[in-house]
């Protein structure tokens, strides 16, 4: 059984006369332990897809099964449990709490769960070190750079060792060194903990870390490619070729 099965998912925004079909009959499966990249130009439905899987948005039609259970049918309490226990999420806009330090932001989910202070602290330190933001832990989000905020959001998402990590452009605001550190920590989470990762990215280098890439276009799956036995460099070139085929550079590329 696949870890995740997306079945004929539609997501429409708006109402009569002004409808955007953000996802249009999307179906695919993700095996446990896959590191799946999701690419596609701005507005192609990537965030919408991730939000649907994270149960942040209800789908208009279709079903999403996690370990065989239909998460589109979960009710409040089960939803909260699913998000708390299984899911790590890095939002496109980071979503940090402004009035909490980075340390508090990263440890929040564990604190809420009632994990003892010292255990939370140790886990926060480990995650922060992994992402190179240990020195910034006592600062507020407004006092650090965009890249540090993004790494804080990633540390918060991985601290729980989620079995499913959803990341919406986690490397978007990072310099190449920080991006590489982040990708390496995703890779080890994926390899050592068999975490399944879905990562939206516009960046071909980041995408080359994935084991498979799904390309979205106008809310539909355009194509998919697998890394297989290819080297990262070969896969990079292949991704670049598809991106070019689909219409070349989009607004997010610099
Ligand atoms: N809350 C909303 N209300 C109405 N339309 C929306 C809403 N959110 C997204 N859309 C529309 O749905 C489509 C898909 O948006 P989505 O945010 O999923 O794209 P994306 O692929 O994540 O783009 P980007 O790369 O710019 O983040 C777009 O046409 C967008 O304008
Ligand atoms: Mg988006």
In this predicted model, what pLDDT tens digit does every residue of 3-22 receive, in sequence order?
A: 999 999 999 999 888 999 99
Beta strands at 35-39 and 87-90: parallel, antiparallel or unpaired: unpaired
- In this prediction the pTM is 0.89
Q: Is residue 187 within 8 Å of 170, Cβ to Cβ?
A: no
Residue 45 CB–ligand 1 contact under 6 Å:
yes
Residue nearest to atom 12 of ligand 1 (CA): 22
| pLDDT (tens digit per residue) in 170-204 | 988 888 888 888 898 888 888 887 889 999 999 99
Residue 172 CB–ligand 1 contact under 6 Å:
no
Residue 40 CB–ligand 1 contact under 6 Å:
yes
Mutation to probe ligand 1, out of 14, 16, 22 (largest number of atoms < 8 A from CB): 22
CA angle 187, 137, 203 (to 5 degrees): 35
Looking at the CA of 26, name the nearest ligand.
1
Centre of ligand 1 to C-alpha 124, Å, is 33
The token pair at 5 is 């099965």
Task: Please state, in angstroms and rounded to a whole number, the distance separating the CA atoms of residues 134 and 128.
Answer: 5
CATH for the 4-246 domain, from 3.40.50.300, 3.40.50.620, 3.40.50.11540, 3.40.50.970: 3.40.50.300
Q: How far is CA 149 from CA 17, 87, 93, 234, in A?
A: 39, 20, 10, 32
Ordered by start, the domain boundaries in the chain are: 4-246
Task: Please state, in angstroms and rounded to a whole number, the distance separating the CA atoms of residues 27 and 2.
Answer: 13
Centre of ligand 2 to C-alpha 118, Å, is 36
Residue 250 CB–ligand 1 contact under 6 Å:
no
Centre of ligand 2 to C-alpha 251, Å, is 12
- Identify the pLDDT of residue 15: 86
Instruction: Please compute the mean of the pLDDT values over residues 127-131 and round it to a whole number.
Output: 87
Instruction: Please compute the mean of the pLDDT values over residues 32-37 and round it to a whole number.
Output: 96
Average pLDDT over the chain reads: 91
């Amino acid at each position: 059984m696949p870890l995740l099965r997306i079945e004929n998912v539609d997501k429409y925004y708006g109402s009569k006369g002004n409808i955007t079909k953000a996802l249009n009959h999307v179906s695919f499966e993700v095996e446990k332990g896959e590191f799946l990249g999701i690419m596609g130009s701005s507005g192609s439905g990537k965030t919408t897809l991730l939000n649907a899987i994270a149960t942040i948005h209800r789908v208009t039609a279709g079903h999403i099964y996690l370990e065989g259970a239909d998460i589109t049918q979960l009710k409040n309490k089960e939803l909260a449990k699913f998000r708390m226990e299984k899911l790590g999420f890095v939002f496109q806009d980071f979503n940090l709490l402004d009035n909490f330090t980075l340390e508090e932001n990263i440890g929040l989910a564990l604190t809420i769960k009632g994990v003892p202070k010292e255990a939370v602290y140790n886990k926060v330190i480990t995650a922060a070190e992994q992402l190179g933001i240990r020195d910034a832990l006592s600062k507020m989000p407004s006092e650090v750079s965009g890249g540090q905020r993004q790494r804080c959001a990633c540390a918060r998402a991985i601290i729980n060792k989620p079995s499913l990590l959803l990341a919406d452009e986690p490397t978007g605001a990072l310099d190449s060194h920080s991006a590489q550190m982040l990708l390496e920590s995703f890779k080890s989470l994926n390899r050592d903990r068999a975490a399944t990762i879905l990562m939206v990215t516009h960046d071909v280098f980041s995408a080359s870390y994935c084991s498979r890439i799904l390309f979205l276009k106008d809310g539909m799956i355009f194509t998919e490619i697998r890394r297989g036995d290819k080297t990262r460099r070969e896969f990079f070139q292949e991704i670049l070729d598809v991106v070019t085929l689909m219409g070349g550079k989009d607004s997010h590329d610099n």
